[in-house]
Structure 1
């Protein structure tokens, strides 16, 4: 029962709002040491248990070291933003007269859904595309037409930028035959006695993707209409004064 002390360490750590990584490591060490402890255990046995637990940490890190590669991507994005990536994106789209928030997001939605249908699901995403590029470009298109944005409309634009990425990926990836979602659907149907081929699932995902494209295009058109109604009237009133 002593090995359950690790659970107590986790609960105590989260109650104290300690660093989650340190809490998990402390819980693992506690569990490893508790598993080796007996009334007859001496210092050498406890020391060996500690080394074994640390060796398990090292092996897990070495076997899964590719996971840490994502931090290099985040560092690169952070450096680009520090160098003015978002400002450049705003300036670029502000020079396009025909650009509106809805049109910018529609183009990204179309690219995201088309790329996902070809299996390129990594070509996009919130940290690498929406935050540093898509959302600032959409905000820049609005600022070029309506001036400084109120916080409510700014956050509305950002939420629609995130939605364009989510919906484009969700309804586009099922068209690609070799995707995890297709295999998951196939396995669940087979468990219930329904035998289908992945190609059939992929083909029947196309009408859903087209419907998603049409519905989201309407939502983006309504977004443009909403921003025009909310932001253009105050601008005209200020110009009249």
Structure 2
């Protein structure tokens, strides 16, 4: 029975998210609980945290990117993005997001996953530009419609990254798929898996592209 005690850390995550506590605090508390129930001492748990952080130093980039984005937003990055897109009279939210979808998939497919993302492009650039394009075409938007535009902006990034990155064979998800298939005696090289990811990426681009076109039409219909 004691072997199952560390699984109580999962319960901490479930309860923490259920009562809407800070996700970072919830995950940290769950990790500490798991470590202590597994027989580790408090110092050993902290050392494990430090080692994991040191072994994955790319995490530290977040602490550089976020303040930089915050300063740019403070000094008008979103406003400049909205002003820029307002100069293109034929720009619509759907067309803009279609371009971003293509950019996100192509760059992810060649291994440049970190060139875009929610904190560095969607929030400060893509979403404000999509909102400006929608307002330019359809006038002032209500709060619900604004939130939809933001949601489509975030979803476009997710679709582009998720289905684009698997085309790049030197990535952890490809290795995970390869090792999982190997347990069932299905032996494929990372390159073969990457090739098989291309049809899924194309299908995802077409399906989400249609959703963006339909979203443009719904905005136009609502404005009439």
2:117 to 106, 125, 145: 125
> Which residue does 1:63 correspond to in 2?
54
C-alpha distance in 2 between matches for 1:150 and 1:160: 16
SS at structure 1 position matched to 2:95: helix
Query: Aligned residue pairs: how many?
Result: 204
106-115 or 206-215, which moves further after superposition? 206-215
Could you tell me which residue of structure 2 aligns to residue 20 of structure 1? 25
Any residues of structure 2 matched to 1:195-234 within 5 Å, and which?
195-231=187-223, 233=224
RMSD over aligned Cα, in angstroms? 3.1
Alignment of 1:185-204 (within 5 A): 185-204=177-196
Q: Deviations over 1:58-116 (max 9, x none)?
A: 95488358333311210000010011101110110011011000000000000000001
Query: What are the ranges of 5 or more consecutive residues in structure 2 without an aligned counterpart?
Result: none
TM-score scaled to structure 2, two decimals? 0.79
> Relative contact order (C-alpha < 8 Å, sep 6+): which is higher?
2
Per the alignment, residue 65 of structure 2 pairs with: 73
**How far, CA to CA, are the matches of 2:206 and 2:52 in structure 1?**
45
Report the equivalent of 1:237: none
Q: Which runs of 5+ in 1 are unaligned?
A: 37-49, 234-241
TM-score, normalised by the number of residues in structure 1: 0.73
> How far, CA to CA, are the matches of 1:59 and 1:180 in structure 2?
22
Bigger Rg over Cα: 1
Q: Does the C-alpha gap of structure 1 residues 57 and 211 become closer, same or farther in structure 2, counting only changes over 3 Å?
A: closer
